[in-house]
Amino acid sequence: MKNMFRTTVLLASLTGLLVLIGDYFGGTGGMIIAFLFAVIMNFGSYWYSDKIVLKMYRAREVTPAESPNLHKIVDGLALKANIPKPKVYVVDSGMPNAFATGRNPQHAAVAVTTGILNLLSFEEIEGVLAHELAHVKNRDTLISAVAATIAGVITMLATWARWAAIFGGFGGRDDDNGGIIGFIVMAVLAPLAATLIQLAISRSREFAADEEGARISKKPWALADALEKLEYGNSHFKPGIRDVQAKETSAHMFIVNPLKGGTLQSLFRTHPVTDERVKRLRAMRF
Distance (Å, rounded) from C-alpha 47 to C-alpha 63?
A: 24
71 is in an annotated binding site: no
Active-site residue 132, yes or no?
yes
Q: Are 77 and 126 in contact (CB under 8 A)?
A: yes
The residue type at 199: L
135 is in an annotated binding site: yes
pLDDT in tens, the chain (286 residues): 555 566 566 667 777 777 777 776 677 777 777 777 767 766 776 677 789 899 999 999 999 999 999 999 999 999 999 999 999 999 999 999 999 999 889 999 999 999 999 999 999 999 999 999 999 998 887 777 777 777 777 777 677 666 666 665 544 444 444 556 666 666 677 777 777 777 777 888 899 999 999 999 999 999 999 999 999 999 889 888 778 888 877 888 899 999 865 544 555 677 899 999 999 999 998 7
The radius of gyration of the chain's CA atoms, rounded to the nearest angstrom, is: 20
Q: Please state whether the predicted TM-score (pTM) of the whole model is above 0.85.
A: no
Distance (Å, rounded) from C-alpha 22 to C-alpha 31?
A: 4
Which of these is catalytic: 124, 126, 132, 231? 132
Q: Which residues have a Cβ under 8 Å from the Cβ of 214 and sit 6 or more positions away?
A: 127, 130, 220, 223, 281, 284
Query: Residue 172: its pLDDT value, please?
Result: 46
Query: Residue 167: its pLDDT value, please?
Result: 64
What's the CATH code, domain 56-166+178-283? 3.30.2010.10
206 is in an annotated binding site: yes
Query: Residue 185: its pLDDT value, please?
Result: 65
Using alpha carbons only, what angle is made at residue 11 by residues 3 and 158, rounded to the nearest 5 degrees? 145
| The pairing of beta strand 108-113 with beta strand 60-61 | unpaired
| The pairing of beta strand 87-91 with beta strand 98-102 | unpaired
